[in-house]
């Protein structure tokens, strides 16, 4: 074989190839978090300031992303809209993950009929199509951000319960858990100090990937008119407002790009996190 065949890529290039997207994703997410936090200082206009004379104006120097049907500045509403989206995404995923993980680990630890009962209950919730059930619940509870978040939580936790249980089952039969038992450590300590930290990685990965999906779902429910009460700026409802304005494309296009960017950001971040935690993928 000749030695002049394509040279293997350099270490730096390989690292960029592997984690470059993850850094980019982290940057996008961090950027949006900053935007949400500092919205009042960044936004050029108040989000609900109407300017009927200037309605449906195309993007211009004054209104970078144009104005909507009530003459509100799309950019400002976009900036404020990030608050609701991120808040909804984080609260659904964090609360759902916390509850689901608790149920899963409890099930793995109880074994016997307790485990059986908890997991059958989880299966039951999983047998509903998530958005439709969330829709039904949101309709039953009434419109509003909090109610929509509650409805999403109901359908969100089961996947975490399943993941946490399977992780905990893998961990509890690991030899290091047996070793901790043989060393005479109390069961509670084994659960907290040994089993739980070792289930953390995959759950964190699922959380990150899920944040994007949660934001997407929340926007979808808002689009259907269930998420927020108007005139609260929210990306999904902004698209709903602009969905028939094909000529005035800017009204619906930019909120969609905002959603897309956040979801892509969380995807990159989650994938990077998974690669980083998985030594098998790391060596490839």
Partner 1 sequence: MSDAVLDVRGLVTVFHTDAGPVRAVDGVSFSVGKGETLGIVGESGSGKSVTAQSLMRLLDPPARIEGGEVLFEGRDVLTMSPRELTAWRGANAAMVFQDSLTGLNPVLRILRQVTEHVVAHGRMDARDARRHGIELLRRMGVASPERAAASYPHQFSGGMRQRVMIAMGMANDPTLLLADEPTTALDVTIQAQILDLLAGLNEKFGTAIVLISHDLGVIGTICKRIVVMYAGEVVEEGPTTDVLSDPRHPYAWALANAVPRLDAPIADRLPGIEGAPPDPLAMPQGCRFAPRCPWRIDRCGTERPPLAEVAPGRLARCWVTADGRSLPPRTVPAHAKPPESSTTEPLLVARDLVKHFPLPKKSFFGAREVVHAVNGVSLHVMPGERLGIVGESGCGKSTLARLVTRLHTPDAGHIRFDGQDIATLGGEELRQLRPRLQMVFQDPYASLNPRMRIGDILAEPLLVHGRARTAAEAGERVGALLDMVGLNPSWAARFPHEFSGGQRQRISIARALGLEPALIVADEPVSALDVNVQAQVLNLMLDLRERMGLAYMFIAHDLAVVRAFCDRVAVMYLGRIVEEAPARDLFAQPAHPYTVSLLSAVPEPGRQRVVLGGEPPSTLRLPQGCAFRARCPVAEPVCAEPPPLTEIAPGHRVLCHAPGSLKGMP
Partner 2 sequence: MLRYVAIRLASAVVMALLASLVIFLISNFVPGDPVLAQLGDILASDPTVVAQWRAKWGLDLPLWDRYWIFLSGLLHGDLGVSIATRRPVLEDIAQYAPATIELATVSFLLALVVGIPLGVAAAVWRDSIVDAVARAVSLLGVSAPTFWLAFIFLAIFYGWLGWAPGPGRLDPIAFPPEGSTGFFLWDSARQGDWETFHDALAHLALPAIVLAAATLGLITRTTRAAMLECLHQDYVRVARAKGLKERAVVLHHALRNALVPVVTLGGLAYANLLTGAVMTETIFAWPGLGRYTFRSAAALDFPAIMGITLVVSATYLLVNLVVDLSYALLDPRVRR
Sites of contact with partner 2 (CB under 8 A): 17, 123-124, 127-133, 135-142, 212, 216, 219-220, 223-226, 236, 239-240, 242-243, 246-247, 249, 252-253, 255-256, 259-260, 263-264, 267
Q: How far is the CB of 49 from partner 2 (least distance, A)?
A: 25
Q: How far is the CB of 3 from partner 2 (least distance, A)?
A: 22
Question: Of the candidates 40, 44, 58, 197, which one interacts with partner 1 according to CB under 8 A?
Answer: 197
Question: Residue 174's binding partner, choosing from partner 1, partner 2, none, with beta-carbon cut-off 5 to 8 A by kind?
Answer: partner 1
Under 8 Å between Cβ of 46 and 233: no
Which residue lies nearer to partner 1 by CB, 10 or 41? 10
Enumerate residues 6+ apart whose C-beta is below 8 A from 140: none
Q: How far is the CB of 197 from partner 2 (least distance, A)?
A: 27
Check binding of 8 to partner 1 (CB under 8 A). Answer: yes
Angle at 85 between CA 153 and CA 230, to 5 degrees: 100
Nearest to 134 by CA among 113, 155, 120, 107: 155
Tell me the residue length of the chain: 284
Tell me the HSE value of 145 on the side-chain side, using a 13 A CA sphere.
Answer: 21
Under 8 Å between Cβ of 47 and 41: no
Nearest to 195 by CA among 163, 216, 169, 158: 169
Question: Residue 186's binding partner, choosing from partner 2, partner 1, none, with beta-carbon cut-off 5 to 8 A by kind?
Answer: partner 1
Q: Which of residues 11-40 bind partner 1 (CB under 8 A)?
A: 11, 14-15
Which residue lies nearer to partner 1 by CB, 180 or 226? 180
Question: Residue 3's binding partner, choosing from partner 1, partner 2, none, with beta-carbon cut-off 5 to 8 A by kind?
Answer: partner 1
Which residue lies nearer to partner 1 by CB, 173 or 246? 173
Q: How far is the CB of 65 from partner 2 (least distance, A)?
A: 15
Which residue lies nearer to partner 1 by CB, 111 or 243? 111
Phi, psi of 67 (to 5 degrees): -125, 160
Q: How far is the CB of 218 from partner 2 (least distance, A)?
A: 10
Under 8 Å between Cβ of 92 and 152: yes
Q: Which of residues 143-182 bind partner 1 (CB under 8 A)?
A: 174-176, 178-182
Q: What is the largest CA-CA distance in the chain?
A: 78
Question: Residue 256's binding partner, choosing from partner 1, partner 2, none, with beta-carbon cut-off 5 to 8 A by kind?
Answer: partner 2
Enumerate residues 6+ apart whose C-beta is below 8 A from 228: 84, 143, 144, 145, 148, 222, 234, 237
Nearest to 212 by CA among 83, 93, 34, 97: 93
What tokens does 225 get?
């008119």
Residues that bind partner 1 (CB under 8 A): 1, 3, 5, 8, 11, 14-15, 174-176, 178-186, 189, 193-194, 197-198, 282-284
């Amino acid at each position: 074989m000749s030695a002049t065949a394509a040279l293997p890529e350099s270490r730096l290039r390989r690292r960029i190839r592997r984690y470059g997207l993850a850094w980019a994703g982290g940057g996008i997410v961090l950027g949006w978090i900053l935007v949400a936090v500092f919205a009042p200082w960044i936004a050029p206009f108040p989000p609900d300031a109407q300017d009927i004379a200037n309605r449906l104006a195309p993007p211009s120097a004054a209104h970078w992303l144009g104005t909507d049907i009530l003459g509100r500045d799309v950019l400002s509403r976009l900036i404020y809209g990030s608050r609701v989206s991120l808040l909804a995404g984080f609260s659904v995923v964090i609360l759902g993950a916390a509850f689901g993980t608790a149920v899963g680990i409890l099930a793995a630890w109880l074994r016997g009929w307790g485990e059986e009962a908890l997991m059958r209950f989880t299966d039951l919730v999983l047998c509903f199509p998530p958005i439709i059930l969330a829709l039904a619940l949101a309709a039953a509870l009434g419109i509003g951000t909090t109610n929509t978040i509650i409805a999403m939580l109901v359908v969100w936790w089961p996947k975490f319960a399943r993941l946490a249980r399977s992780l905990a089952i893998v961990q509890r039969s690991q030899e290091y858990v047996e070793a901790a038992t043989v060393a005479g450590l109390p069961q509670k300590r084994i659960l907290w100090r040994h089993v739980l930290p070792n289930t953390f990685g995959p759950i964190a990965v699922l959380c990150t990937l899920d944040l994007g999906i949660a934001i997407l779902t929340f926007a979808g429910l808002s689009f259907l008119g269930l998420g927020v009460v108007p005139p609260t700026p929210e990306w999904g409802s902004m698209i709903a407002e602009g969905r028939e304005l094909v000529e005035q494309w800017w009204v619906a296009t930019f909120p969609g790009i905002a959603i897309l960017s956040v979801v892509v950001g969380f995807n990159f971040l989650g994938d990077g996190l998974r690669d980083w935690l998985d030594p098998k993928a790391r060596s490839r």
